[in-house]
């Protein structure tokens, strides 16, 4: 049997129109009695702005234009899509899935549609799942999307977390191919670290139990992130029979410029080979990698035929990498 591969044929992204600069956020927080500054945020994170969705905008609303842009880039119609995978930690509803809601908004019916919840590693997980389903013949043309409205779960009395995150969506069309596009994937999780990054609340009997806002031990996350990202990168390169020298672009989860710089150093990659959007988007969780990928493609940085390493780390504690040829 001839091996079946998958390849990204189109990318797309969408940001809500409200852009919140550090100075905007500093002013808003001051009204709450929370002190911070543009300099403090930039020095620790590299973030200068982020986008926040309007109160009536859900994750599927952000996913829709991102998906449409990716389909347009791939030259396909909604009816051509036979799989939808949405990575999100901020779904429209408890159920049905945001993917099912998006499927309806796209005017598609019948194909499998489901969400993947791996927080900031979500897009890497979703891409690996879609690749496997294309490889086994379940699908031929998939929409893989990361979409988040993290502004809904932020504690704006905690300056160590509320300055980090933003909203947005990124998407790719992944199609069956005779030649490898996805070269290798590597996924991991370690539930022992659940407590260092979580939203420890849930709905029961119509009420929210626990704390429905994001909690993070920043130092613990940083310490774990750099180490596991390096291991995942080396593992996925080994699976593909590649080395660091084969990487044209590193597109990491856009959480913190220091983590990205540390990862690049360990891989002996110059920062000129890293696609960085964290300064404009903040941490958009599962949306950050596809947002950065679309930016790289549309800016002319990432070109057909180049080898790209995607990697993410998030609550769970989850992490993973995908090596692909554009």
pLDDT digits (tens, 9 = 90+) for 207-241: 999 999 999 999 999 999 999 999 999 999 999 99
Specify whether 253 is catalytic: yes
Q: Is 1 exposed, middle or buried (0-12, 13-18, 19+ CB in 10 A)?
A: exposed
Instruction: Using a cut of 0.95, tell me whether the model's pTM lies above it.
Output: yes
The CATH architecture one would assign to domain 5-178 is 3-Layer(aba) Sandwich (3.40)
Across the range 253-265, mean pLDDT stands at: 95
CB neighbours of residue 233 within 10 Å: 25
CATH topology of domain 183-325: Peroxisomal Thiolase; Chain A, domain 1 (3.40.47)
To the nearest 10°, the Cα dihedral for 162, 23, 52, 208?
30
Across the range 155-178, mean pLDDT stands at: 97
Cα–Cα distance between 289 and 312 in angstroms, integer?
8
Nearest CA among 91, 43, 89 for reference residue 314 = 89
Is cis: bond before 110, omega within 30 of 0? Answer: no
Residue 2 clears pLDDT 70, i.e. is over it: no
Contact indicator for 185, 236 with CB cutoff of 8 Å? yes
Domain with CATH 3.40.47.10 in the chain: 5-178, 183-325
Cα–Cα distance between 192 and 262 in angstroms, integer?
24
Cα–Cα distance between 90 and 112 in angstroms, integer?
20
Q: Is 202 exposed, middle or buried (0-12, 13-18, 19+ CB in 10 A)?
A: exposed
Q: What is the pLDDT of residue 1?
A: 54
pLDDT digits over 68-90, tens only? Answer: 999 999 999 999 999 999 999 99
Q: What is the pLDDT of residue 3?
A: 66
Cα–Cα distance between 84 and 68 in angstroms, integer?
13
Q: Please pick, among 193, 253, 281, 295, the residue that the annotation labels catalytic.
A: 253
Q: Please pick, among 120, 193, 256, 281, the residue that the annotation labels catalytic.
A: 120
Contact indicator for 139, 100 with CB cutoff of 8 Å? no
Which residues contact residue 240 at a Cβ distance below 8 angstroms, ignoring those fewer than 6 apart? 183, 184, 323
Phi, psi of 277 (to 5 degrees): -130, 0
Q: Is 75 exposed, middle or buried (0-12, 13-18, 19+ CB in 10 A)?
A: exposed
pLDDT digits over 274-322, tens only? Answer: 999 999 999 999 999 999 999 999 999 999 999 999 999 999 999 999 9
Cα–Cα distance between 284 and 294 in angstroms, integer?
14
Nearest CA among 126, 118, 103 for reference residue 290 = 126
**∠ at Cα 297 (167, 277), nearest 5°?**
40
Q: Please pick, among 22, 281, 283, 295, the residue that the annotation labels catalytic.
A: 283
Contact indicator for 233, 321 with CB cutoff of 8 Å? yes
pLDDT digits over 143-156, tens only? Answer: 999 999 999 999 99
């Amino acid at each position: 049997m001839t091996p079946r591969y998958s390849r990204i044929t189109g990318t797309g992204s969408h940001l809500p129109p409200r852009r919140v600069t550090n100075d905007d956020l500093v002013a808003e927080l001051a009204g709450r009695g929370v002190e911070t500054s543009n300099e403090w945020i930039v020095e620790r994170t590299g973030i200068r702005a982020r986008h926040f969705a309007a109160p009536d905008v859900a994750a599927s609303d952000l996913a829709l234009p991102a998906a449409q842009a990716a389909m347009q880039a791939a030259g396909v119609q909604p009816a051509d899509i036979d799989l939808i995978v949405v990575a999100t930690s901020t779904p429209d509803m408890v159920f049905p899935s945001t993917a099912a809601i998006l499927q309806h908004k796209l005017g598609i019916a019948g194909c499998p549609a489901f969400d993947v919840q791996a927080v900031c590693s979500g897009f890497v997980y979703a891409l690996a799942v879609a690749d496997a389903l294309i490889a086994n013949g379940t699908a031929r043309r998939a929409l893989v999307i990361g979409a988040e409205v993290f502004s809904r779960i932020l504690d704006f009395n905690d300056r160590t977390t509320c300055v980090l995150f933003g909203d947005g969506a990124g998407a790719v069309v992944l199609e069956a191919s005779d030649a490898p596009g996805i070269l290798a994937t590597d996924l991991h999780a370690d539930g022992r670290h659940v407590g260092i990054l979580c939203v420890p609340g849930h709905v029961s009997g119509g009420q929210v139990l626990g704390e429905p806002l994001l909690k993070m031990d920043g130092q613990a996350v940083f310490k774990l992130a750099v180490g596991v990202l390096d291991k995942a990168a080396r593992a996925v390169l080994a699976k593909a029979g590649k080395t660091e020298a084969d990487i044209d672009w590193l597109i990491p989860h856009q959480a913190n410029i220091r983590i990205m710089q540390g990862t690049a150093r360990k891989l002996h990659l110059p920062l000129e080979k890293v696609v960085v959007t964290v300064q404009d988007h903040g941490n958009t969780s599962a949306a950050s990698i596809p947002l950065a990928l679309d930016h790289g493609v549309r800016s002319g940085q990432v070109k057909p035929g180049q080898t790209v390493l995607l990697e993410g780390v998030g609550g769970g504690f989850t992490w993973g990498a995908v090596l692909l040829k554009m």
